[in-house]
């Protein structure tokens, strides 16, 4: 099978997939994206991703490239052509191609690009031992609720984490509270056993995995506090977690080198990961 | 003449100029750029642009795609092929093409794209009547000193300015001070006749036109204060100005609808524009 991508109306070999150099995604980061997990060929949380995509587009006044129904067909066709089981779909819409000028151009068509790839299996060590995070100031812009491709600060944060031997960076606002990771949401479990994660707002992305996990918590009757927490509170927490489409749920067992929860993934993590993966393999995915 | 662009080693018709969809410039805004003015086919302030480019690349740990000498040859060849007199050169380097993953990829080659275009003549009305600006909160990230392509906040600011019938938006920090425009630096002239512009730092781009004008001020023995100013101070100023590569020097005669300096371009503006354009047409440009 030749890996293929979808670019502005055509299925093309991934290696040849190209966009014009004056696509505003390339010159202005003027676009948005979604990453959707595939579980045995089915799209996980498709509706939530489509709803978030619509919201991002609306905030930037970018016209959707096509309807949800049409996009659903394209996504499924791309999965089929790439013969994917477990993997990820990447979907990007930008404001289109126009002579370079900051303001919105008139009469352009929204660009649409999709890629698909097989998931590398998540290393068992990450699940069993948990991951390390490092903290750093959140220097991103004021609209992190928009899932835009202006990801340079996230790139720099992730790279700094890796250079420090960590899996992720947790970004910290001016008040000392964790906002989120560079590509994941951040959670802790208090001494009283309550899950805490920051409330959505302009300062974080409304993660789809975060959202699904919150819904599952409700079904299980587990308590959640949506509020900011400090780095000190996280270091002293019983457990810490992160969630994202590509990581699902992982335990955070080190923060800036300090062990969290004795340095081992905790019980609530184990339960939440199980609940989440059951959901992902069942009701959460749409064929 | 078919308009042509330079893309990763080749001169190609502009209409066909394309980059791979997994170029990190397209998915992560992981790149930097420069816009260089052409005056009668010569590059204005080439050395200053190259120095700033080097600094942006170094801050992001992106390897230069080629030496200054080689880049100089490419720029001149592109000008020649496009038979340009007055115009603009656009130059962009990104971290390269790699499977999508936030951290820096190993073993990639820096992407290099250049475009060139004829300058639309600056409308005389802008020069004679000055321009309007509107102010809005500066919600950009913390490293505006890096000339990155993560320009979405600038795009939104410029569009909001145009929607308000203004030429530019002046961005205002948490303390009420103007940082800069979305694609220009901001200046005022105090009642005492002193020019004021914000000091360079992480919060603004070190504009090349700003830099050249400051050097020319020194030659003329004109006083400059490099310090922040408030919106109120700007509205009450004797004159206000903006500078950029594509606008050169323009008078700002309205701020949020209020007239500045009686709503007419001032004397210092006239002198500075003349001094700057003399420089641009002479010593500033390199063949």
With an 8 Å Cβ cutoff, are A142 and B143 in contact? no
In A163-182, the residues whose Cβ lies within 8 Å of chain B are: 182
A17 touches chain B (CB under 8 A): yes
Q: What is the mean pLDDT of chain A?
A: 97
Q: Is position B147 annotated as part of the catalytic site?
A: yes
B117 touches chain A (CB under 8 A): yes
Closest residue by Cα to residue A97 from A18, A6, A20:
A20
Q: Evaluate if residue A285 carries a pLDDT over 90.
A: no
Q: Evaluate if residue B1 carries a pLDDT over 90.
A: no
The pLDDT value recorded for residue B87 is 96
Over residues B163-176, mean pLDDT: 98
Render pLDDT for B104-134 as a digit per residue (tens, 0 to 9): 999 999 999 999 999 888 999 999 999 999 9
Over residues B161-172, mean pLDDT: 98
With an 8 Å Cβ cutoff, are B18 and A17 in contact? no
pTM here?
0.97
Q: How far apart are CA B181 and CA B158, in angstroms?
A: 9
With an 8 Å Cβ cutoff, are B25 and A23 in contact? no
Over residues A147-174, mean pLDDT: 98
What residues in B contact A29, CB-CB < 8 Å? Answer: 29, 149-152
- Please tell me which of the candidates B19, B90, B143 has its beta carbon nearest to residue A139: B143
Can you list the pairs that A139-143 forms with residues at least 24 positions away whose Cβ atoms lie under 8 Å? A139/B141, A139/B142, A139/B143, A140/A171, A140/B141, A140/B142, A141/B139, A141/B140, A141/B141, A141/B152, A141/B153, A142/A202, A142/A203, A142/B137, A142/B139, A142/B140, A142/B153, A143/A59, A143/A202, A143/B139, A143/B153
The pLDDT value recorded for residue B185 is 98
The pLDDT value recorded for residue B151 is 98
The dihedrals phi and psi of A123, each to the nearest 5 degrees, come to: -55, 130
CB A87 within 8 A of CB A35: no
The pLDDT value recorded for residue B25 is 98
Nearest residue of chain B to residue A7 (CA atoms):
B21
Q: What confidence category does residue B287 fall into, taking pLDDT thresholds of 50, 70 and 90?
A: confident
Q: How far apart are CA B111 and CA B5, in angstroms?
A: 14
CB B252 within 8 A of CB B131: yes
> Which token pair is B87?
């115009």
Render pLDDT for B178-236 as a digit per residue (tens, 0 to 9): 999 999 999 999 999 999 999 999 999 999 999 999 999 999 899 999 999 999 999 99
The three-state DSSP-derived secondary structure of B143-187 is CCCCCECCCHHHHHHHHHHHHCCCCEEEEECCCCEEEEECCCEEE
With an 8 Å Cβ cutoff, are B99 and A90 in contact? no
With an 8 Å Cβ cutoff, are A162 and B117 in contact? no
Q: What confidence category does residue A283 fall into, taking pLDDT thresholds of 50, 70 and 90?
A: confident
The pLDDT value recorded for residue A207 is 98
Q: What is the mean pLDDT of chain B?
A: 97
- Of residues B284 and A65, the one with the higher pLDDT is A65
- Please tell me which of the candidates B18, B30, B152 has its beta carbon nearest to residue A21: B18
Q: What confidence category does residue A1 fall into, taking pLDDT thresholds of 50, 70 and 90?
A: confident
Over residues B74-81, mean pLDDT: 98
Q: Evaluate if residue A178 carries a pLDDT over 80.
A: yes
Mutate to test the interface with A, among B29, B146, B169 (most CBs of A within 10 A): B29
With an 8 Å Cβ cutoff, are A155 and B102 in contact? yes
Q: What confidence category does residue A153 fall into, taking pLDDT thresholds of 50, 70 and 90?
A: very high
Q: Evaluate if residue A120 carries a pLDDT over 90.
A: no
Q: How far is B277 from chain A (nearest CA, A)?
A: 23
In B201-220, the residues whose Cβ lies within 8 Å of chain A are: none
Render pLDDT for B38-64 as a digit per residue (tens, 0 to 9): 999 999 999 999 999 999 999 999 999
Q: What percent of chain B has pLDDT over 70?
A: 100
Q: How far apart are CA B89 and CA B41, in angstroms?
A: 10
Q: Evaluate if residue A287 carries a pLDDT over 90.
A: no
Q: Evaluate if residue A264 carries a pLDDT over 80.
A: yes
What residues in A contact B19, CB-CB < 8 Å? Answer: 18-19, 21, 26
């Amino acid at each position: 099978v030749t890996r293929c991508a979808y670019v502005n109306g055509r299925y093309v070999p991934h290696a040849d997939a190209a966009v014009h150099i004056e696509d505003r995604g390339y010159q202005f980061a003027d676009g948005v994206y979604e990453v959707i997990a595939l579980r045995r060929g089915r799209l996980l949380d498709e509706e939530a991703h489509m709803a978030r995509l619509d919201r991002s587009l609306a905030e930037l006044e970018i016209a959707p490239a096509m309807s949800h129904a049409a996009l659903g067909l394209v996504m499924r066709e791309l999965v089929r052509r790439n013969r994917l089981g477990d993997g990820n779909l990447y979907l990007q819409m930008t404001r289109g191609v126009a002579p370079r000028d900051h303001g919105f151009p008139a009469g352009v068509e929204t660009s649409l690009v999709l890629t698909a790839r097989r998931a590398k299996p998540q290393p068992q060590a990450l699940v069993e031992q948990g991951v390390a995070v490092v903290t750093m100031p959140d220097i991103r812009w004021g609209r992190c609720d928009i899932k835009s491709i202006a990801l340079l600060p996230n790139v720099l944060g992730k790279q700094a984490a890796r250079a420090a031997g960590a899996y992720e960076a947790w970004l910290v606002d001016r008040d000392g509270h964790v906002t989120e990771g560079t590509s994941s949401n951040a959670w802790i479990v208090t001494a009283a056993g309550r899950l805490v994660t920051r409330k959505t707002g302009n300062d974080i992305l409304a993660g789809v995995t975060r959202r699904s996990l919150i819904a599952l918590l409700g079904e299980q009757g587990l308590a959640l506090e949506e509020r900011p927490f400090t780095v000190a509170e996280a270091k002293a927490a019983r457990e810490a977690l992160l969630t994202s489409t590509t990581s699902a749920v992982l335990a955070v067992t080190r923060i800036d080198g300090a062990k969290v929860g004795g340095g081992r993934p905790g019980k609530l993590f184990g339960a939440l990961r199980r609940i989440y993966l059951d959901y992902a393999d069942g009701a959460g995915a749409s064929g």
